[in-house]
Amino acid sequence: SSCEVDVCPGLVSMTADVISRTAFGSSCVEGQRIFELQAELAQLIIQAFRKAFIPGYSYLPTKSNRRMKAAAREIQVILRGIVNKRLRAREAGEAPSDDLLGILLESNLRQTEGNGMSTEDLMEECKLFYFAGQETTSVLLVWTMVLLSQHQDWQARAREEVKQVFGDKEPDAEGLNQLKVMTMILYEVLRLYPPVVQLTRAIHKEMQLGDLTLPGGVQISLPILLIQRDRELWGNDAGEFKPDRFKDGLSKATKNQVSFFPFAWGPRICIGQNFALLEAKMAMTLILRKFSFELSPSYVHAPYTVLTTHPQFGA
| pTM, rounded to two decimals | 0.85
131-158: burial string, b at 16+ Cβ within 10 Å, e else? bbbbbbbbbbbbbbbbbbbebeebbebb
24 touches 82 (CB < 8 A): yes
**Per residue of the chain (315 residues), what is the pLDDT tens digit?**
678 999 998 998 888 888 888 887 766 677 778 878 887 887 787 777 666 566 666 667 788 888 889 988 888 888 888 888 888 888 888 887 788 888 888 877 776 566 677 778 888 887 788 778 888 999 999 999 999 999 999 999 999 999 999 998 999 999 999 999 999 999 999 999 999 999 999 999 999 988 999 999 999 999 999 999 999 999 999 999 999 999 999 999 999 999 999 999 988 888 889 999 999 999 999 999 999 999 999 999 999 887 788 899 999
